[in-house]
Structure 1
Amino acid sequence: MFSKTSLLSLVAATAVFAAPTPVTDTDVLQFALTLENLENAFYSQGLAQYDAKAFTDAGFPDWVRGRFVQIGEHEAAHVQFLNGALGAAATKPCQYNFPHNSPATFAALSLALESVGDAAYLGAAGLLSDKGPWNGAFDAPLTPSGAFSLASLFVKSCPSSNPALPVTTFPALTISTGTPAPGATVSLKFTLPQGQAQPANTYVAWLNGLDVLYSDLAKDGTTSVPAGLAGVVFATLVSSKAAPNDTNMMTGFTIVQFPFDSFARSG
Structure 2
Amino acid sequence: MFWRFTTLFSLFAVATARPTRGLRKRAADPVLNETQILNFALTLEHLENAFYTLGLSEFDQDAFVKAGLPAFTRGRFEQIAEHEATHVQFLTEALGPDATAACNYSFPFTDPNSFVALASILENGGVSAYLGAAQFLSDKAHLTAAGSILTTEARQNAWIHSAVLKLEPWSRAFDTPLTFDQVFTLASGFIVSCPATNPVLPVKAFPSLAVVEAAPAPGSTIHLTFNSTTTAPTFLALFAGLNTTFVPITNATALLPTGLQGTVYGVVTTNGTAVSDDTTIAGVAVFDFAFPSQADN
- Tell me the TM-score normalised to structure 2 length: 0.76
Q: Is the 8 A contact 2:271 2:279 kept in 1?
A: yes
Q: Is the 8 A contact 1:178 1:186 kept in 2?
A: no
Match of residue 128 from structure 1: 137
Task: Give me the identity figure in percent.
Answer: 46
> Following superposition of structure 1 onto structure 2, how do residues 117-196 of structure 1 map, counting pairs within 5 Å?
117-129=126-138, 137-177=173-213, 179-192=215-228
Matching residue's letter, 1:222 = T
Alignment pair present for 1:108 and 2:117: yes
Q: Distance in 2 between matches of 1:87 and 1:147?
A: 24
Measure how far apart 1:130 and its partner are: 5.0
Deviations 1:8-58 (A, max 9, x none): xxxxxxxxxxxxx94211111010000000000000000110111101000
Match of residue 233 from structure 2: 201
Q: Is the 8 A contact 2:246 2:273 kept in 1?
A: no
Deviations 1:225-262 (A, max 9, x none): 11121111111101113443212211231111001232
Aligned length: 241
Alignment pair present for 1:231 and 2:267: no
Matching residue's letter, 1:95 = N
Deviations 1:193-221 (A, max 9, x none): xxxx2242100011111111111111x21
Larger mean CA deviation between 205-214 and 130-139 belongs to 130-139
Q: Is the 8 A contact 2:49 2:85 kept in 1?
A: yes
Higher relative contact order (CA 8 A, sep 6+): 2
Give the secondary-structure state (helix, strand or coil) at the position aligned to 1:169.
coil
Match of residue 215 from structure 1: 247
Give the secondary-structure state (helix, strand or coil) at the position aligned to 2:122.
helix
Matching residue's letter, 2:101 = K
Measure how far apart 1:67 and its partner are: 1.4
Q: Is the 8 A contact 2:212 2:222 kept in 1?
A: yes
Match of residue 51 from structure 1: 60
Give the secondary-structure state (helix, strand or coil) at the position aligned to 1:140.
coil
> Following superposition of structure 1 onto structure 2, how do residues 254-265 of structure 1 map, counting pairs within 5 Å?
254-264=285-295
Measure how far apart 1:191 and its partner are: 2.2
Match of residue 81 from structure 1: 90
Given the superposition, is the C-alpha separation of residues 231 and 39 from structure 1 closer, same or farther in structure 2, using an over 3 Å criterion? same
Given the superposition, is the C-alpha separation of residues 262 and 177 from structure 1 closer, same or farther in structure 2, using an over 3 Å criterion? closer
Larger mean CA deviation between 112-121 and 131-140 belongs to 131-140
Match of residue 9 from structure 1: none
Determine which of 71, 80, 85 is the counterpart of 2:80. 71
Given the superposition, is the C-alpha separation of residues 33 and 173 from structure 1 closer, same or farther in structure 2, using an over 3 Å criterion? same
> Following superposition of structure 1 onto structure 2, how do residues 6-45 of structure 1 map, counting pairs within 5 Å?
22-45=31-54
Deviations 1:88-116 (A, max 9, x none): 22111111000000100000000111111
Q: Is the 8 A contact 2:31 2:202 kept in 1?
A: no
Given the superposition, is the C-alpha separation of residues 22 and 231 from structure 1 closer, same or farther in structure 2, using an over 3 Å criterion? closer
- Tell me the TM-score normalised to structure 1 length: 0.85
Measure how far apart 1:187 and its partner are: 0.8
Q: Distance in 1 between matches of 2:32 and 2:192?
A: 26
Structure 1 runs of 4+ aligned residues shifted over 6 Å read: 131-136
Matching residue's letter, 1:207 = F
